[in-house]
């Protein structure tokens, strides 16, 4: 039986033809033995390592990507560069000076200001939630170090990240408005390890960046316990990051040309950059491996109707710069759908579509193709992802393949984001899901036109 499935895999799919259910199943099932996604993930994390946006490390990764994608046989492989401001990490230390002296595990948030080489000492002002910080009078924290805590729960769909992440994204600017000399937050994570989580924060125009760091979850809880003793707490911070000016990043693009240019482009991919603490395995080398392996399997099976455009986006972690650059550069292109893989490498458990009414049957065929992998259909209007967001905003249809997020935020943006955290079998299930999705969508005979996204 397996020989028949493999034989079906390498029977070319005629141009413009919709593959049969059996052909899609053969492609899907063969992908459960995929090794390419692992090879790409292992190669990128081993040969390049951390890939902070706009740095020479990310530039080396682009060169690596072009060579690898050309060797795999993709067409129109190129780099589309764009400029961006670059922030780099410096020294980072924290310690309670009084009443109970002890070190704390901390990392700087992206775009954090610097304490200077001598560090900064201040009394801690504790806020259990971001709303508590917002309620503090302007100027009331002058000379003090704000500490904002919170708790983030692990969820399969990752829905807790949006609300919890506001502490990191908006908290430092709010603390600056209140007059704080610096801010520390409890890491935006669900782990119990003494490993802090980084990630970007935003200081709006006119707001001076203050030193901003994230404590590991156990250290944040330790600081809370110290504060509950009722004595003033003095903290010393040493955070010496810097803004290095405008540098170059870029998107790496490769294609599987389709037979019908008027049918639109199926946009897929993940992001090439990573934070600098780990090697960016789950975030997002795995996403690149998954989408690349699936696209290559479709290419090997014959020419699809729609062009599959694979993008390894640059500078996602620092605010989705690559996604915006892509949308601006390609707003005149006809896109049918857009999808990205940027939520680790654990199994896909659900899919959603955001398709026009005339393409409703595409979603039904996807349900049939993905069910044997244990993937159920959700009820959301698809369109999730930082990199594809600007393209989706143009009215492009979406297909989301949702991975389990139950352990993603144990590792997200930490030094623990390394290759050993990836389960090869779950990685292969992802490739199978993406292969089935592309086999259905890239060959679909239905027109996939513009959609109106619900607000």
Helix (H, G, I), strand (E, B) or coil at 394: coil
Q: How many CB atoms are closer than 10 A to CB 56?
A: 10
Q: How many CB atoms are closer than 10 A to CB 246?
A: 10
Spatial contact of 353 and 441, defined as CB atoms under 8 Å apart: no
399 dihedral zone (left: phi>0; alpha: psi -120 to 50; beta): beta
Per-residue confidence at 24, pLDDT binned at 50, 70, 90? Answer: very high
d(CA 162, CA 422): 24
Residue 143, C-beta contacts closer than 8 angstroms, at least 6 positions apart = 122, 123, 179, 181
d(CA 371, CA 290): 19
4, pLDDT greater than 90: no
Fold of 2-87+246-441: Aminopeptidase (3.40.630)
Same fold, 2-87+246-441 and 90-240: no
Tens of pLDDT, residue by residue over 69-103, are: 999 999 999 999 999 999 999 999 999 999 999 99
119, pLDDT greater than 60: yes
Known catalytic residue at 316: yes
Output b/e per residue, 97-130; b: 16+ Cβ within 10 A: eeeeeeebbbbbbbbbbbbeeebbbbebbbbeeb
**pLDDT > 70: percent of the chain:** 96
Which of the residue ranges 3-7, 154-158, 282-286 has the most confident prediction, judged by mean pLDDT?
A: 282-286
299, pLDDT greater than 60: yes
**pTM of the entire predicted model:** 0.95
Tens of pLDDT, residue by residue over 323-376, are: 999 999 999 999 999 999 999 999 999 999 999 999 999 999 999 999 999 999
d(CA 198, CA 224): 20
15, pLDDT greater than 70: no
Q: What is the pLDDT of residue 454?
A: 87
Q: What is the pLDDT of residue 451?
A: 95
Give mean pLDDT, residues 104-108: 98
Q: What's the distance, Cα to Cα, between the start and end of the chain in Å? A: 48
Residue 360, C-beta contacts closer than 8 angstroms, at least 6 positions apart = none
Per-residue confidence at 18, pLDDT binned at 50, 70, 90? Answer: confident
Per-residue confidence at 398, pLDDT binned at 50, 70, 90? Answer: very high
Q: What is the pLDDT of residue 384?
A: 87
Task: Report which of 334, 330, 306 is spatially closest to residue 390, judged by C-alpha positions.
Answer: 330
Tens of pLDDT, residue by residue over 127-160, are: 999 999 999 999 999 999 999 999 899 999 999 9
Q: How many CB atoms are closer than 10 A to CB 170?
A: 17
Tens of pLDDT, residue by residue over 184-215, are: 999 999 999 999 999 999 999 999 999 999 99
Q: What is the pLDDT of residue 207?
A: 96
Marked catalytic residue, from 58, 92, 255, 316: 316
In CATH, 90-240 is 3.30.300.30: no
Per-domain residue ranges for the chain?
A: 2-87+246-441, 90-240
């Amino acid at each position: 039986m397996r020989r028949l499935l493999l034989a079906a895999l390498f029977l070319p799919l005629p141009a413009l033809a919709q593959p049969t259910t059996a052909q899609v199943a053969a492609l899907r099932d063969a992908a459960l033995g995929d090794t390419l996604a692992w090879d790409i993930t292992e190669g990128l994390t081993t040969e390049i390592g951390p890939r902070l946006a706009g740095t020479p490390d990310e530039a080396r990764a682009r060169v690596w990507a072009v060579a690898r994608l050309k060797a795999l046989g993709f067409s129109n492989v190129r780099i589309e560069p764009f400029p961006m401001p670059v922030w780099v990490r410096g020294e980072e230390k924290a310690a309670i000076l009084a009443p109970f002296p002890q070190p704390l595990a901390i990392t700087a948030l992206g775009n954090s200001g610097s304490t200077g080489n001598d560090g900064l000492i201040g009394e801690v002002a504790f806020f259990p939630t971001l709303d508590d910080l917002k309620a503090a009078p302007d100027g009331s924290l002058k000379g003090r170090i704000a500490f904002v805590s919170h708790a983030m729960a692990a969820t399969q769909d990752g829905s807790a990240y949006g609300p919890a992440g506001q502490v990191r994204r908006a908290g430092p600017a709010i603390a600056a408005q209140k007059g704080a000399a610096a801010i520390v937050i409890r890491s935006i994570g669900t782990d119990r390890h003494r490993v802090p989580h980084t990630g970007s924060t935003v200081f709006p125009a006119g707001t001076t960046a203050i030193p901003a760091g994230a404590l590991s979850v156990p250290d944040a809880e330790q600081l809370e316990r110290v504060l509950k003793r009722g004595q003033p707490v003095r903290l010393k911070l040493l955070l010496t990051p810097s803004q290095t000016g405008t540098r170059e990043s870029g998107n790496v693009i490769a294609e599987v040309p389709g037979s019908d240019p008027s049918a639109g482009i199926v946009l897929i991919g993940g992001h090439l950059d990573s934070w600098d603490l780990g090697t960016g395995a789950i975030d997002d080398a795995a996403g690149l491996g998954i989408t690349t392996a699936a696209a290559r399997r479709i290419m090997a099976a014959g020419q699809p109707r729609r062009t599959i455009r694979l993008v390894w986006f640059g500078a996602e972690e620092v605010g989705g710069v690559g996604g915006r650059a892509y949308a601006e550069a390609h707003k005149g292109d006809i896109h049918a759908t857009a999808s990205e893989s940027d939520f680790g490498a654990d199994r896909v458990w659900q899919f959603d579509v955001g398709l026009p009414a005339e393409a409703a049957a595409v979603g039904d065929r996807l349900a049939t193709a993905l069910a044997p992998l244990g993937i159920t259909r959700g009820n959301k209007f698809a369109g999730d992802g930082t990199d594809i967001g600007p393209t989706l905003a143009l009215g492009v249809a979406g297909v989301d393949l949702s991975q389990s997020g139950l352990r993603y935020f144990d590792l997200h943006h930490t030094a623990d984001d390394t290759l050993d955290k990836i389960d090869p079998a779950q990685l292969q299930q992802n490739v199978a899901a993406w292969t089935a999705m592309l086999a259905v969508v890239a060959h679909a005979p239905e027109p996939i036109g513009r959609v109106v996204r619900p607000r």
